[in-house]
Amino acid sequence: MQGQARLAAGRTGEGVTPLSRSHTLDLLRGLAIVGVMAIHVSQSFPSNIRAVDFAFMCGWAGVNVFYFVSAMTMCLMWTQRTETDPTRKFYIRRFLRIAPLFWLAIPIYLVVNGTGPSYNAPNGIGPLQVILTATFLHGFWPDSVNSVVPGDWSIAAEMIFYLVFPLLITTFGSRRRLYLALAIVLHLVNVCLFKPWAFALFSAYYGPGHEAFVWNALHISFLNQLPVFLVGCALFFSLRDGFTKSDAAIFAVFIALSFIADRATGSHEFNYLMINLVLGALVAGCIRLAIRCWPIEALGRNSYSMYLSHFAVIYGLRQIWPLTDGLLSLLIAYAVTAALSYLVARATWHLVERRAQDLAHRLTSPASSRSTIRPNIAATATGMR
């Protein structure tokens, strides 16, 4: 508890960004889900206009915005709470925030998509893939990722990050340079050692013709995503305590080492790193400026359910869609997908998520040991993806 109090006691002087606001974080989540829906809608309802389809395809970056917001929100919640047994309570809250809705999605998508062979599961879906998905371990085996629940690769990364987060923040505290140093080390280990080894291993396991599938699975693996979360943690403490020239120097070293490693190994992860660093800067800029937009914030507060449900909405629309592919079809399909996904999210909030969060509150807030948390942080936790 004393360590948490020290973490919470950040600088309060002029120029320090107030991070106890939930509105901008909701806005960022909203922008993220807008982007994620864009790429998937355009895949099913292409406009056949190259520039438009490319712009919609760039929505994949929304997942990475989710990562940054998740890391920063976890740091925010951890540093603002003062309670006994914080790690156990953290796990309870995170598990009950993610698991109930995700478990509901598993049987739904098994019915919708079936269990036969597909790009993400060359040998089909069996008990192994379902068990790994249900236990959030699907990110560690290529044909379990995105095979049972579409887009579940990001949820695998989120859950493993939640697993290691208490250890990270209790060990590193507010020393943001340690988060960046670990991000650099893990990135280099992945690019220079793990990815080449794993690619050879799984390519041999799945056989010729599946190299692109294996490469993509390793690209979206947790080890390749963890540096994004770590940079998010570093950004949180930089925003709270103020940026310095040494922060910029560390980022410059990160970029240089990644460029060298990429050229030496042909891992093609340098561009991904640069995109993530730009996204991180944009996220930090939005928080500094405290940008508001209530319609986007409303989407952000319901982004987790919208993320899980929009795949099913798109599938259903594709079965009955009366329009031929084109710009008008794409725009209408996007608007309908967003509206229906939002309605589904509101329904699941009342039927599933609210009940799960009430249970989490009862399990973590006994009368004998009440946690003290600022009301505005509680609002952030409610909207957390």
Q: Tens of pLDDT along 88-114?
A: 999 999 999 999 999 999 999 999 999
Residues 6+ apart with CB under 8 A from 223: 186, 189, 190, 194
Report the alpha-carbon distance of residue 286 to residue 61 in Å, rounded. Answer: 16
What is the pLDDT averaged over residues 38-65? 97
Percent of the chain with pLDDT over 90: 85
pLDDT at residue 74 above 50?
yes
Q: Specify the pTM.
A: 0.89
The 10s digit of each residue's pLDDT in 122-147 is: 999 999 999 999 999 999 999 999 99
Report the alpha-carbon distance of residue 253 to residue 273 in Å, rounded. Answer: 13
Are residues 226 and 182 in contact, defined by beta-carbon separation less than 8 angstroms? no
Question: How many Å is the Cα radius of gyration of the chain?
Answer: 21
Quote the crossing angle between the two packed helices 86-113 and 354-364, to the nearest 10°: 160
The partner residues of 82 in beta bridges, in order of sequence, read 372
The 10s digit of each residue's pLDDT in 197-217 is: 999 999 999 999 999 999 999
